[in-house]
Amino acid sequence: MKSFPAIIVDDFFENPDAIVEMASSLTYTPQEEGIWPGVRTDLLSDINDVNIIRLFHYIGQKIFDLFGNNPANWGMYTTFQKIQPFSENKWDKLNRGWVHFDGMYQSPVKFGGIIYLNKNADKDTGTSIYKTKNGFHTYEDHEIDQKKKLYSGNCIDIDKYERIYDEYHDQFVETIRVDNIYNRLLLFGGDTLHGVRTFGTEERLTLPFFCYEYGSLTPPLLRS
């Protein structure tokens, strides 16, 4: 049983335009190994700016308020992320995310999620949640390598990439589709399979977050 259900909160920030303005003032860098697409800022908790630090604490406290229990100690990775499309065709497989769960890259992740920060975004650039067709899945090295090559900017064989993409994603069935709505938060458990349906045709700005510690908080699905 998953401890954290999918949660959607619209109008998360009182003034999302101000958050976007803060995001535009920061420096973004790629992940050289290609673990994730696009560019990200440093962790908000590590940026030497009082307003960014306040934003970090505000986000964490507001997220925990959703559970009706704000623990005294909690740990969360938060950052801004920008992704440029990999193709002019939004449904090109080069332009579609890979299904994964957050614990694959950052362990342990108790829960994670994303806040969408594009006005008038293409709704298809949201996030889908999946289940496995047969109760299990694997992520083979040659599949990981294809994704990393694309995300790190290395040359790829497009036919090979598309074939491996299809073979990997044949393991999953979409169960929930969440549209990209400005200032919407989506939260899900660290063991929840999810992925971006398409990166779209314009720059995609989001604020992903990953909680790795929540003190004495009882997860929602474990309450008696």
Cα angle 205-210-212, degrees, rounded to a multiple of 5:
165
Q: Which of 31, 24, 150, 7 is nearest to 92 (CA)?
A: 150
Please give the pLDDT value at position 215.
83
Q: What is the Rg, in whole angstroms, of the alpha carbon atoms belonging to the chain?
A: 17
Helix axes 50-65, 16-24, angle to 10 degrees: 140
d(CA 182, CA 191) in angstroms, rounded, equals 25
Q: Give the C-alpha separation, 181 to 188, whole Å.
A: 17
Residues 74/214, Cβ–Cβ less than 8 Å:
yes
- Write out pLDDT tens, residues 120-132: 999 999 999 999 9
217 CB-side CA count, 13 A: 26
Whether the pLDDT of residue 152 is over 80: the answer is yes
Q: Strands 185-189 and 111-116, how do they pair?
A: antiparallel
The pLDDT tens digits of the residues spanning 37-68 come to 999 999 999 999 999 999 999 999 999 999 88
Q: How many CA atoms lie within 13 A of 26 on its CB side?
A: 25
Asked if the model's pLDDT at residue 139 lies above 70, the reply is yes
* Cis ω for the linkage preceding 108 (within 30 of 0): yes
- Per the rule left: phi > 0, alpha: psi between -120 and 50, beta: everything else, 106 is beta
Mean pLDDT, the chain, as a whole number?
Answer: 93
pLDDT higher than threshold 80 for residue 96: yes
- Tell me phi and psi for residue 60, to 5 degrees: -60, -45
pLDDT band at residue 179 under the 50/70/90 scheme: very high
Report pLDDT for 222.
72
What is the reported pLDDT for 37? 96
- CATH T-level topology, domain 7-222: Jelly Rolls (2.60.120)
Tokens of 173: 């069935």
Domain locations in the chain as residue ranges: 7-222
> Model's pTM, two decimal places?
0.94
Percent of the chain with pLDDT over 90: 83
Q: How far is the C-alpha of 38 from the C-alpha of 153, rounded, in Å?
A: 10
